[in-house]
Amino acid sequence: MVLKIRKTKVAAPACPLTACMAVMKGAWTPNIIWSLSGGPRRFGELQHDIPRVSSKVLSQRLRELQARRVVRRRVLDTSPPSAEYELTELGLELVPAIQAIVRVGVKIAHPERAAA
Amino acid sequence: MVLKIRKTKVAAPACPLTACMAVMKGAWTPNIIWSLSGGPRRFGELQHDIPRVSSKVLSQRLRELQARRVVRRRVLDTSPPSAEYELTELGLELVPAIQAIVRVGVKIAHPERAAA
DNA sequence: CAGGATCCTAATCGATACTG
DNA sequence: CAGTATCGATTAGGATCCTG
A2: in domain: no
A99: in domain: yes
Distance CA A57, CA B21 (A): 17
A48: in domain: yes
Phi, psi dihedrals of residue B79, rounded to the nearest 5°: -130, 115
> Which domain, by its residues, includes A45?
27-111
Residue B36: closest CA among B26, B46, B27: B46
Q: Which of B5, B93, B109 sits opposite A44 (nearest CB)?
A: B5
Mean predicted confidence (pLDDT) in A35-44: 96
Q: How many CA atoms lie within 13 A of A100 on its CB side?
A: 17
Number of domains in chain A: 1
B13: in domain: no
A107: in domain: yes
Q: What is the pLDDT of residues B58-107, one digit of tens each?
A: 999 999 999 999 999 999 888 788 899 999 999 999 999 999 999 999 98
- Distance (Å) from the C-alpha of residue B102 to the closest C-alpha of chain A? 5
Q: What is the pLDDT of residues B3-62, one digit of tens each?
A: 899 999 998 777 889 999 999 999 999 999 999 999 999 999 999 999 999 999 999 999
Residue count of chain A: 116
A16: in domain: no
Chain A residues lying within 8 Å of B52, measured CB to CB: none
Q: Tell me the sheet residues that pair with A86.
A: A72
Chain B residues lying within 8 Å of A12, measured CB to CB: 102, 106
Chain A residues lying within 8 Å of B21, measured CB to CB: 27, 30, 101, 105
Q: What is the CATH number of the domain that holds A49?
A: 1.10.10.10
Sequence-distant (≥ 6) Cβ neighbours of residue B60 within 8 angstroms: none
Shortest-distance nucleotide from A46 CA to C1':
D2
Distance CA B90, CA B113 (A): 33
Cite residues whose beta carbon is less than 7 Å from strand D. A 42-45, 55-56, 59-60, 62-63, 73, 80-83, 85; B 2-3, 25-28, 52-57, 60-61, 80-81
pLDDT at residue A116 is higher than 50: no
Mean predicted confidence (pLDDT) in A53-72: 96
Distance CA A55, CA B7 (A): 20
**Cβ distance of B1 and A37 shorter than 8 Å:** no
B98: in domain: yes
